[in-house]
Amino acid sequence: MNVQDFKRWHWIAISIVVGLALSYVWSNVEWDENLPTIGQRDFESGLVTPFPQPQHLERVTVMPPEEGKYKIVAEQVRPTKQAGVIELRPVAYMADTPYKAGAWRGGDEQFPDVRKYLDSVKATNAEVTYKFAWWRQPWAVYLLWTGAAVLLIGGVWPVVISLMVGAGFGLKREDQGPEYDLARFKAEQEAKGAKHDPTSAELAHLRELEDELEKKLAAQRAGLPMPEDEEPVVATTKKLDGGPLEAVNLNQTPEDHDYKGEFYPVDRHAPPKKK
């Protein structure tokens, strides 16, 4: 089978397998694992520090929890040697669950998780923003990757193949060899295995054969010749039409014979003797 012979459902099945494989790989990859980490003090103070002052946190993103901990990725403002020029350095912070705010300064305010803490800070300071990376959750990873694979491989790719074949880039039908109709072989097998009902003529012929066989067996047990060995005797009468019979003279003198010859005797019919 060539690529151009694949049906659309073939491509859809292939796309699902590819999408699941990519989803599994993507969901097990640890992203941003080599980022430098910051402490709780830099995290909480950086949220409320105005931009572009040093230690300000920009583009705060909360990753899905893993083993009860939330990984927060952000960009921290760093000063440079040039006046008026700042640097944004990617950093990460690991927040425990439940989250205790201000623990670095002796605070004991507790939140169910760090997202609830960020919501409370955002409620009092409108400049604080963050987003949750829902697309990194396992269900979203499998849905997005599998859906994209089905759309591209199962939807777009068959159309591209059809266009390429129509443009003459595919394998020609005559180059593929003879096509075999497998349904024909199946029909022949079903025809061979179908039940045949005997006709009345076939049943009558069968009864004749049974009767003939019974006669032969009976003749064999009785010691008589088999029916097929008996030849009919045809009486024939030969018509005699040789004409009238001549009277035979029983008193006729026997004729003399003279036998001569070098190798075997020959009858010369010797002349009668004079009396």
More confident residue, 81 or 247: 81
Assess if residue 224 is contained within a domain. no
Q: Is the pLDDT of residue 250 over 60?
A: no
Distance from C-alpha of 28 to C-alpha of 89, rounded to nearest angstrom: 26
Range of the domain at 12: 3-27+139-166
Q: What is the pLDDT of residue 167?
A: 79
Assess if residue 189 is contained within a domain. no
In a shared domain, residues 45 and 113: yes
What domain count does the chain have?
Answer: 2
Mean predicted confidence (pLDDT) in 171-194: 60
Instruction: Read off the pLDDT of residues 212-237 as tens digits, 9 standing for 90 and up.
Output: 888 888 877 776 665 555 555 454 55
Question: What single-letter amino acid sits at 14?
Answer: I
Assess if residue 237 is contained within a domain. no
The angle at the Cα of 60, spanning 54 to 64, to the nearest 5 degrees, equals 145
In a shared domain, residues 7 and 68: no
Assess if residue 247 is contained within a domain. no
Mean predicted confidence (pLDDT) in 191-206: 74
Sign of torsion, CA 32 34 36 38? positive
Sign of torsion, CA 34 38 44 49? negative
Assess if residue 108 is contained within a domain. yes
In a shared domain, residues 10 and 75: no
Assess if residue 91 is contained within a domain. yes
Q: What is the pLDDT of residue 47?
A: 94
- The three-state secondary structure class of 222 is helix
DSSP-derived letter for residue 154 is: I
Asked whether the whole model's pTM tops 0.75, one would answer: no
Instruction: Read off the pLDDT of residues 104-147 as tens digits, 9 standing for 90 and up.
Output: 888 888 999 999 999 999 999 989 999 999 998 999 999 999 99
In a shared domain, residues 158 and 78: no
In a shared domain, residues 58 and 127: yes
Distance from C-alpha of 266 to C-alpha of 144, rounded to nearest angstrom: 130
CB 68 within 8 A of CB 97: yes
In a shared domain, residues 80 and 155: no
In a shared domain, residues 44 and 110: yes
In a shared domain, residues 102 and 145: no
- Cα-flanking dihedrals φ and ψ of residue 245, to 5°? -75, 145
120 closest CA partner among 133, 107, 138:
107
